[in-house]
Structure 1
Amino acid sequence: MEKEAWILQELQRIYDNTSNYNVRTLMKAAQDIIEEQRKRIDQMEGEMEGTIWSPRRWGE
């Protein structure tokens, strides 16, 4: 999480300090990808935990 916060902060800093459209677009896309990955990781962790605690699996 620390690295994720740091990279998002750096991407935002670059985004804020440039007027180049291509660079701004790339920085925004990179931020969006990182945030989407975080959502998917959280979802998968929740799914794994739900599977582990499923009563159907207790008998195995």
Structure 2
Amino acid sequence: MEENEWIIQQLQHILDKSDHYNQRTLMKATQDIIKEQAKRIEQMEGEMEGTIWSPRKWSE
């Protein structure tokens, strides 16, 4: 997660300094994608952990 935070901070730095609409839009969209990917990874890890520890799955 540290890599994500660093990337988001770097994108924010570019976003703050840019006056170009297209570049600002791209930086913001990239930040949003990184955050969404991190959220989905966390959800999938939780789902995997829940499946592994589910007694119903032990007999399969």
Shared topology, TM-score over 0.5? Answer: yes
Place the TM-score, normalised by the shorter chain, in its bin.
over 0.9
The alignment's C-alpha RMSD in Å is 0.9
* Structure 1 match to 2:34: 34
1:11-26 aligned at under 5 Å gives the runs: 11-26=11-26
Q: Which residue of 2 aligns with 1:53?
A: 53
Number of paired residues?
60
How far 1:33 sits from its partner (Å)? Answer: 0.3
AA aligned to 2:46 is G
Q: What are the ranges of 5 or more consecutive residues in structure 1 without an aligned counterpart?
A: none
Q: How far did residue 3 of structure 1 move? A: 1.0
Shift in Å at residue 41 of structure 1? 0.2
Tell which has more relative contact order, 1 or 2 (C-alpha 8 A, sep 6+): 2
TM-score w.r.t. the length of structure 2 is 0.93
Q: TM-score normalised to the size of structure 1?
A: 0.93
Code of the aligned partner of 2:58: W
Letter in 2 for 1:18: S
